[in-house]
Amino acid sequence: MVDVTEDLPGFRDSSTPIVVHGDLVGTCYAVRDEITRTDDGIVFEAKDTLLDRLVALKLAWRDPGHPSMIFEARRCGAVRAECAAAIYGMGTHQGVEYIVGERITGTLLGALLAVPMSVEDYLARLRGITAAVVSAHEAGIAIGDISGSTVLIGAGGRLVLGRLSLSQVPAFGPHGQILAPEVVRGEVAPSNPAAAAMIDLYGLGCIAIEMARGAPPFENEDHEIELKGHAHEPPPRLADLRTDLPGDLSDLVEWLLSKHPSQRPPSAAEVLSQIDAIRDRVGTHSRTLRVLIIDDDTARARWLWSLARRAHSAAHVEIASEGTDAAHKLNRDHPDLVFIDGGLTGVMNALELIMYVRGLEIEQHAQLAVIGSNTSRDRTMFENINVPFIEDDETLAASVLARVRSTARTPPRRRKARTTVSG
> Which one, of 174, 144, 180, lies nearest residue 162 by Cα?
144
Q: Is the dihedral of CA 211, 214, 216, 218 positive or negative?
A: negative
**The pLDDT of residue 13:** 81
Spatial CA neighbour of 306 closest among 363, 357, 249: 249
Asked whether residue 422 is assigned to any structural domain, the reply reads no
Which pTM value belongs to this model?
0.83
pLDDT score at 417: 42
Give the three-state DSSP class for 79: coil
DSSP 99: E
Give the contacts of 92 (CB within 8 A, at least 6 positions apart): 98
pLDDT confidence tier of residue 273, bands split at 50, 70 and 90:
very high
The predicted-structure confidence for 117-156, as pLDDT tens digits, reads as follows 999 999 999 999 999 999 999 999 999 999 999 999 999 9
Between 269 and 17, the higher pLDDT residue: 269
Residue 194 in 3-state DSSP?
A: coil
How close are the terminal C-alpha atoms of the chain, in Å? 110
Q: Over the stretch 214-243, which tens digit does the pLDDT of each residue have? A: 999 999 999 999 999 999 999 999 999 999
Same domain, 333 and 372: yes
Identify the pLDDT of residue 362: 46
174 found inside a domain? yes
DSSP assignments along 378-389, one per residue: HHHHHHHTT--E
Of residues 55, 48, 172, the one with CA closest to residue 105 = 55
Residues 344-348 have a mean pLDDT of: 87
Provide the 3-class DSSP secondary structure of residue 275: helix
Tell me how far apart the alpha carbons of residues 295 and 342 are, in angstroms, rounded to a whole number: 9
Chain mean pLDDT for the chain: 90
Q: Is the residue at 207 inside a domain?
A: yes
- What confidence category does residue 295 fall into, taking pLDDT thresholds of 50, 70 and 90? very high
Out of 54, 82, 102, a domain closes at 102
Rounded Cα distance between 350 and 370, Å, is 8
Domain boundary among 102, 120, 138: 102
Residues 165 and 50 in one domain: no
Q: In the prediction, which pLDDT does 43 show?
A: 96
Q: What is the CATH number of the domain that holds 113?
A: 1.10.510.10
Q: Which domain holds residue 183?
A: 107-276
Q: How many percent of the chain have pLDDT more than 70? A: 92
* % of the chain at pLDDT higher than 90: 70
Residue 312: half-sphere exposure toward Cβ, Cα within 13 Å: 27
Residues 64 and 80 in one domain: yes
CATH number of the domain enclosing 370: 3.40.50.2300
Instruction: Kindly report, residue by residue over 7-35, the tens digit of the pLDDT.
Output: 677 788 887 888 999 999 998 999 999 99
